Amino acid sequence: MTGLAIDYAIEEELAVEADAADTSFIPLSDPDVTLAEIEAVGAVLQSPRLSSGAVAESFEAAFADYLGRRYAVAVPSGTLGLLLALRAAGIGPGDEVIASPFSFRETVHAISLSGARPVFVDIDYWAGTLVPDKAEARITGRTRAIVAGNVNGHPAPWDALRDVASRHGLVLIEDSTEAIGSRYKDRLVGSFGDMAVFDFAQPSALTCGEGGMVVTDDIDLAVALRRNRSHRLNERTSVAVGMTPCFQAGMSDITAALGLAQLRRLDEILERRRLIEELYASHIQSFEGIKPPYVAPDVTEVNWFLYVVHLGTRFSRSSRDAIAEDLKVEQVEAAGYCNPLHLQRYYFELGYRRGDFPVTEKVADRAVALPFHAHLTDDQIGFIVDTMKDASINVGAGAAIY
């Protein structure tokens, strides 16, 4: 079979799979993968090197260039990326790090893994991001850093956060694991922290299975990140003498090839996701009483991580869960967004209790994440929204007030 015939065969197979998806289970995420990604991974599989090497370095250089930052360090996940960032800043046992309880748990877990204590701060009701004034009120003599996230793609108030961090001599770390491509005051997220962390697992718009990236403009931080991440290629032998006990947490060239191909198509991927957002918006207008998507005045562009619907106050956490369960019965994957960190067992044992962060709890109890990816059709989105409206009537909530 010729290369062209193989390409046609692959395209036909992908088309068949897409057609099948129209009438079956609708997943929360479905990566936007084309022949470009398949060919990039295939080229690495036919090369003499699969482990971290030249392709991973090319991905780092391209990602740094995309953000306009000096250095990018590829890592296996956003969690390890944040852990390495904290270690590069010299943060560990006895230190405190301010963070949001309204976050993807695996990323913020890195604070505890570093030995530091996470100090949670409540969020803005509309944007879901860390409130700078509330963060400043929790600063103590042990505080070393602020970790602020661009939640579900919506940028945090970076000017105010930078002001707080600078006045108190704190490291500002940007959690951009959910927000690639979004912009605050015309600047891409990932441009604001002393370090910024990205994650490339699903359902990120840029998806390469697993993986992440830490970016910075500080050469000392970049050197520390690399030193703690893994040995250099010429040091990876059993007789090499190492100065630092590293995590050996590099990114394989296979993963990097997929990420590099996705990065080259990122504008296209984001544009296709924006079209899906518009379809959702057209259907969701008939769903009375939900909180509309919010974009803060200083935010130039939001590229949503998932399509999150915020139910009104007449809905309870249990009714939210019942709606998600009804969607699953209809073969639509949905989930609550999110389970507040301070109410999860590990952090509960640190002394946090329900009621500590009322805005976080109010928002999290009534947020439903719906499927969001480029392969959704207008009919599927209409079905998802109609099913959700029917489910809201079934739980007896009626029209909601947010």
Residue 41 scores a pLDDT above 60: yes
pLDDT band at 215 (very low <50, low <70, confident <90, very high): very high
Percentage above 70 pLDDT, the chain = 89
Tokens representing residue 287 in the block:
């769903």
User: Buried b vs exposed e over 190-218: b needs ≥16 C-beta within 10 Å?
Assistant: bbbbbbbbbbbbebbbbbbebbbbbbbbb
Per-residue confidence band for 396, with pLDDT thresholds at 50, 70 and 90: low
pLDDT for 6 beyond 50 = no
pLDDT in the model for residue 236:
54
Q: Sheet containing 299-301: which strands, arranged edge to edge?
A: 187-188, 183-184, 299-301
Q: What is the pLDDT of residues 95-110, one digit of tens each?
A: 999 999 998 777 789 9
Give me 145's structure tokens.
Answer: 């850093």
Contact between residue 128 and residue 361 where contact means Cβ atoms under 8 Å apart: no
Say what the pLDDT of residue 400 is: 44
CATH homologous superfamily of domain 267-394?
Answer: Aspartate Aminotransferase, domain 1 (3.90.1150.10)
pLDDT in tens, 171-202: 999 999 999 999 999 999 999 999 999 999 99
Distance CA 394, CA 391 (A): 5
Confidence tier at 3 by pLDDT (50, 70, 90): very low
CATH of region 37-264: 3.40.640.10
- For 254, residues 6+ apart whose C-beta sits below 8 A from its C-beta are 41, 44, 45, 50
**Strand locations in 53-203, DSSP E?**
71-75, 96-99, 117-120, 143-149, 171-175, 183-184, 187-188, 195-199
Model confidence pTM above 0.75:
yes
Question: What are the tokens at 245?
Answer: 């006990």
- Write the CA distances from 225 to 26, 116, 221, 343, 368, integer angstroms: 39, 18, 6, 31, 36
Instruction: Average the pLDDT over 289-310 and give the result.
Output: 91
Reference 175, options 201, 159, 152, 205; nearest CA is 152
Domain coordinates in residue numbering, the chain? 37-264, 267-394
Provide, rounded to the nearest whole percent, the portion of the chain with pLDDT above 90.
74
Give the pLDDT confidence score for residue 283 in this predicted structure: 93
pLDDT one-digit tens code per residue, 12-34: 555 545 544 445 899 999 999 99
pLDDT at residue 225 above 80? yes
Whole-number mean pLDDT of the chain? 89
